[in-house]
Amino acid sequence: MNNKQTIQVVAAIIFNKNSEVLLASRPNDKIFAGFWEFPGGKIETNETPFAALQRELFEETNLHIQKAHHWQTITVEREQHTIAVQFWQVAYADWCGTLQAKENQQFAWQNPQNLTVYPILPNNQAIIDALAQQYSG
């Protein structure tokens, strides 16, 4: 019987006009510090996933998300808990604002087929691989 708590998380796959995706480095005070990931965070109690996505993206990046669509969810098993990460795609036309590192992180716009930042957070690599396949045509 699994008594582990499941933590619900959202992550944004934000596209720019060149079909690159935004990756952020994890801040020094967090687990996996320095690893690159899609920006996002935990869904709070009584918050919808989309509202969490909007809040987290503004808190971390200063970007405003007007529209997004759920793409896929992955589950990560940890010793103490399970993390369910919902990945949402945000088209270039569906966000606005000036990118700002509000958590002292770094940002990089990346082509999923040709990354230049490493290391990638392990649970984000499968998403990058899927994006690279999706946009190879």
Write out pLDDT tens, residues 72-116: 999 999 999 999 999 999 999 999 999 999 998 999 999 999 999
Residue whose tokens read 């952020």? 24
Any idea what the Cα angle at residue 72 is, between residues 93 and 94, rounded to 5°?
A: 10
pLDDT band at 3 (very low <50, low <70, confident <90, very high): confident
pLDDT band at 137 (very low <50, low <70, confident <90, very high): low
Contact (CB, 8 A) for 99 and 112 = no
- Residue 123: is its pLDDT beyond 90? no
Across the chain, what does the average pLDDT equal?
94
User: What one-letter code names the amino acid at 69?
Assistant: H
Phi, psi at residue 74, to the nearest 5°? -120, 150
pLDDT digits (tens, 9 = 90+) for 79-89: 999 999 999 99
Select 5-134's CATH number: 2.60.120.260, 3.90.79.10, 3.30.70.270, 2.60.120.10: 3.90.79.10
User: How far is residue 128 from each of residues 4, 41, 51, 111, 112, measured CA to CA in Å?
Assistant: 28, 18, 24, 9, 6
Res 31: pLDDT: 87
pLDDT band at 134 (very low <50, low <70, confident <90, very high): confident
Q: What pTM was computed for the model?
A: 0.94
- Residue 2: is its pLDDT beyond 70? no
